[in-house]
Amino acid sequence: MGVNGDCKRTKIRFRWYGELKNNVNNGLFEVKHKIGLLGYKDRYDIKHTIKNSDNILNSLLNCEFNDLADITFKSISPLKSVLINRYHRKYYESPDHKIRITLDSDLTFYSIYSSVLNKINYVMPNHSIMEVKYDQGYDSLAFNFIGEMPFRLSKCSKYELGLRNIYG
């Protein structure tokens, strides 16, 4: 279930790699769709440089997108940025390339409404999040793999963690 109890969800995000205090070049605008446990993303490259003092959403509104991205972005333009989450990510892949794992650590959350670049609002230094990713056709292989893990499987959203820890 999503934040509102829906099994069908859409999440909008702007992703970039690099430091928080630097200008953002070659960002990625993503629309993440989830239906039950299955998910996919629409991704759009952003060629516009976003200065560190800009509001990311306002900067994106001034970018030029291809037709599909423009239609998608205009439909969400009334939304407001509320959270920045940062983490270190390590990537792993099974030898047959059927299962991928990401391991996120050093989770840090910032409120858009505070001095984002000067104040960390919440840090989770002793927590890691592991995501197991695979194509739908490998369900049984992935479930067997997950069943061998020495820890409990649970759902976790870094976005929901950040909202809960910053805004209550």
Q: Where exactly are the structural domains of the chain?
A: 1-81, 82-168
The 10s digit of each residue's pLDDT in 68-124 is: 455 555 555 566 667 888 889 999 999 999 999 999 998 988 877 665 445 667 788
Which residues is 101 bridged to in the sheet?
A: 92, 132
The 10s digit of each residue's pLDDT in 115-161 is: 544 566 778 888 899 999 999 899 999 999 999 989 888 888 888 88
The 10s digit of each residue's pLDDT in 17-56 is: 777 666 777 778 788 888 887 888 888 777 767 765 455 5
- Distance, in Å, from the CA atom of 151 to the CA atom of 146, rounded to the nearest integer, reads 9
